Amino acid sequence: MIQHPSYTVEPWRLRETELNFDILGQSESVFALSNGHIGWRGNLDEGEPHGLPGSYLNGVHETRPLPYAEAGYGYPEAGQTVINVTNGKVIRLLVDDAPFDLRNGHVRDHERILDFRTGLLERRVEWESPGGRVVRVRSTRLVSLVQRSVAAICYEVEAVGADLRVVVQSELVANEALPQADDDPRVSAVLEAPLRSEEHSGRAAGAVLVHCTAVSGLRLAAAMDHQVDAPPSAQETVECFEDLARYTVTAELKAGERLRLVKYVAYGWSHARSEPAVRAQVEAALTAAAQTGWDGLAGGQRAYLDDFWERADVEVEGDAEVQQAVRFALFHVLQAGARAEGRAIPAKGLTGTGYDGHAFWDSETFVLPVLTYTAPEAAAHALRWRRDTLPMAQDRARQLGLEGAAFPWRTITGAECSGYWPAGTAAFHVGADIADAVTRYVNATGDLDFEKGVGLELLVQTARLWRSLGHHDAQGRFRVDGVTGPDEYSAVADNNVYTNLMAQHNLRSAAAVAERHADESRAYGITEEETASWRDAAEAMFIPYDEALGVHSQSESFTTHQAWDFANTSPEQYPLLLHFPYFDLYRKQVVKQADLVLAMHLRPDAFTDEQKARNFAYYEALTVRDSSLSACTQAVLAAEVGHLELAHDYLAEAALMDLDNLEHNTRDGLHTASLAGTWVALVAGLGGMREHDDTLGFTPRLPAGITRLCVNLSVRARRLRIEITADGAAYRLLEGDSLRILHNGRPVDVTSGKPVVLPVLKASSDAPPGQPPGREPARRRT
């Protein structure tokens, strides 16, 4: 069992009991606050020491050229990188003559708590200065889920044991110095001083800074206001410069006396609005925040989260780490998407600069399934963002010689930013992933207005892409050649099973939805011939299968390739992409992340039970999980084929990815999709939840180490609660009309008030398949 020494295991909160400078970056990520619009890393109030200072606004980025040693047609010329915006978190403290800096003096006591129910990050420190003065500092921070432009901090300092003078400096800081990025290509390119000052002005107890970005031409404003509760002797001043605004309050505190400061921060940005307009917008938000007040903001946060947990909580008995981790995961997934409204959900949420702040397919494939059943309005917003980017995706398709829409592999605005096409643009499955998320959302919510107004267009344009990307061969099979599936250790291969099955689903869904909304379909120029051609292509879709081995070939010919030489690969050579050339990875049987196995999760209808078991065993032996997008899917299929202990271990790996820093890069931001995967591993894995058109199916069963699993889901305006133990599964409808589900493949009607209790299956008695040496799930490795 892995221990995470830094954080205690508690069901409803994440608590740090000592300040370990070595994991500052990781702690900043796990303690990050966000509402999907604003993101504040869990930096210390006083700014230093830090791993990576980080304040982000969803969509605020700088544009940079993408260089190529040898350029090619259709290579994107411009990249996008999330930038560190004006930091409104900073509150510095001078204790007599000593700056409050935990690297000096003596930390007598330290605690930080992220509470998943209050949504507050609390910090308590008792510190003795080098000169022997002692203060107790308590700060509480929130990024409001209710007022999306607002964040706030309640900061208290208390003189302990003796009188002393304190100076509190609350700041807005633009263009903070950032640490150098390392050579790992996964680490974001750091842009220095990206903000140009446009306006700075102070007022009574606050200030506003307006900046713009040099190339992307975005304008952003940050404003702060303060309410202070201090001894009468206290004095306050405001200073303001281009990149720094500072509110200072000085007070002499008697022993036991406190100074309390509430800081309100408001952010706004626009690519179009004028400087006065953006400035007015943040000042308005600030005024509203001050009127709501600290208690009002904190109360609103609690109410928002109470509602969320009532709809979304997952209870796990028997594995306290997983219990904590799934709530940590749900909290951060909510934070990433709650108020993104019109913007993407990046791979790291707004918790760090990893992957340049880009959004990928994992948003639709891993994050949206969670939001669809727990906070469906956030899922709808994320898909509306994709719809809004359709003009860019259609332009890209035209540039690539294709019909319909080619969504970007990685992006902030919707424009393709992938600088290596074999692992970027060629991964066309992103289109089918978006279509799948649309279908899932509509099936789960019954929201036909969304289907008509947003979903139809996304389905049609992605279906057109597939129809033009594939072709019928001499045997009439519909082939999709030369594309890249989810597994990034293969690329540019023919007939990737995942891609072809998802494309098949995409084509069928598009045809069905186009028929359902005939009037709107005509507006998109869809004819009966076109929908027929989609159905034909879907019907004839080529799915490679290796008869000799009795398994599906991840892509055509994959199973004929040389097996990776795992025996001669040392533990230090993982992740393989940092130690072996792509050409070698691509040409051998080695799998970075679930690909065929993910196909079995998302297209369960396309495989027999026997194929699932054989395929899982075959790919299990080849999958190294150099991607965080794998463990949860392996958990799902391990559970389906009956290897429940293995499923539990994979669940734990997904769950502890960031809390245990398993990939050693949590400092760059949280693995949002892996966090979502914790829920997926529990609900689709142990709960066995699958989507069969508009009916949800469950095949629940638990490993020995989990004695009870209770899941709350929102489905079609109903609230469904499933409680699973070793003895059986109880389905209970908490709200809404009766609902037909499948339990172990058989239809069951669940009606309000009357729980339906049904028996669960046993685990498989077969020995579970093995992994490549040293690539067992994290818990098994120690």
Binding residues for a second copy, per CB under 8 A?
Answer: 66-76, 79, 183, 185, 399-401, 418-426, 471, 473-474, 479, 481-483, 491-492, 494, 548, 556-557, 560-562, 577-584, 586-588
Tokens representing 578 are 């940092």
Measured distance CA(475)–CA(540) in Å, rounded: 10
Q: Which residue number, 231 or 581, has a Cβ lying nearer to a second copy?
A: 581
CB of 29 to a second copy, least distance (A): 23
Question: Residue 11 in contact with residue 18, Cβ under 8 Å?
Answer: no
Task: Kindly report the number of other CB atoms within 10 A of residue 179's CB atom.
Answer: 12
Q: Which residue number, 77 or 727, has a Cβ lying nearer to a second copy?
A: 77
Tokens representing 234 are 């206290």
End-to-end CA distance of the chain: 7
Sign of the CA dihedral with 511 first, then 515, 516, and 520 last: positive
CB of 546 to a second copy, least distance (A): 10
Question: Residue 301 in contact with residue 120, Cβ under 8 Å?
Answer: yes
CB of 556 to a second copy, least distance (A): 6
Question: Residue 159 in contact with residue 100, Cβ under 8 Å?
Answer: no
Task: Kindly report the number of other CB atoms within 10 A of residue 449's CB atom.
Answer: 9
Order across the sheet with 235-240: list the strands: 98-99, 91-95, 164-173, 244-253, 235-240
Sign of the CA dihedral with 708 first, then 712, 715, and 717 last: positive
CA neighbor of 714 nearest in space, from 696, 698, 693: 696
CB of 662 to a second copy, least distance (A): 22
Q: According to the annotation, is 592 in a ligand binding site?
A: yes
CA neighbor of 541 nearest in space, from 512, 499, 509: 499
Question: Residue 217 in contact with residue 271, Cβ under 8 Å?
Answer: yes
Cis peptide before 49 (omega within 30 of 0): yes
Q: 528-539 and 497-516 are packed helices; what angle lies between their axes, rounded to 10 degrees?
A: 150
Measured distance CA(737)–CA(757) in Å, rounded: 18
Active site residue 488: yes
Amino acid 736 reads G
CB of 418 to a second copy, least distance (A): 8
Q: Quick one: which H or E segment has residue 249? A: strand 244-253
Q: Which residue number, 203 or 664, has a Cβ lying nearer to a second copy?
A: 664
- Give the gyration radius of the chain's Cα atoms: 27
Measured distance CA(670)–CA(692) in Å, rounded: 31
Amino acid 22 reads D
CB of 401 to a second copy, least distance (A): 5
Measured distance CA(633)–CA(615) in Å, rounded: 13
CB of 419 to a second copy, least distance (A): 2
Q: Which residue number, 304 or 545, has a Cβ lying nearer to a second copy?
A: 545
Q: Which residue number, 342 or 581, has a Cβ lying nearer to a second copy?
A: 581
Q: According to the annotation, is 593 in a ligand binding site?
A: yes
Question: Residue 488 in contact with residue 592, Cβ under 8 Å?
Answer: yes
Q: Which residue number, 621 or 730, has a Cβ lying nearer to a second copy?
A: 621
Measured distance CA(712)–CA(373) in Å, rounded: 9
Measured distance CA(466)–CA(527) in Å, rounded: 17
Burial pattern 597-606, b for ≥16 Cβ within 10 A else e, equals: bbbbbbbbeb
CB of 565 to a second copy, least distance (A): 9
CB of 613 to a second copy, least distance (A): 21
CB of 569 to a second copy, least distance (A): 10
Q: According to the annotation, is 127 in a ligand binding site?
A: no
Q: How many CA atoms lie within 13 A of 434 on its CB side?
A: 36
Longest dimension (CA), the chain: 89
CA neighbor of 371 nearest in space, from 122, 714, 747: 714
Q: Which residues partner with 712 through β-bridges?
A: 721
Q: Quick one: which H or E segment has residue 554? A: none
User: Annotated catalytic residue: which of 488, 530, 556, 640?
Assistant: 488
Q: Which residue number, 6 or 554, has a Cβ lying nearer to a second copy?
A: 554
Q: According to the annotation, is 519 in a ligand binding site?
A: no
Q: Which residue number, 75 or 524, has a Cβ lying nearer to a second copy?
A: 75
CB of 561 to a second copy, least distance (A): 5
Q: Which residue number, 279 or 358, has a Cβ lying nearer to a second copy?
A: 358
CA neighbor of 752 nearest in space, from 733, 778, 769, 775: 733
Cis peptide before 575 (omega within 30 of 0): yes
Amino acid 650 reads Y
Residues annotated as catalytic are 488
Annotated binding site for substrate: 361-362, 592-593
Annotated binding site: 361-362, 592-593
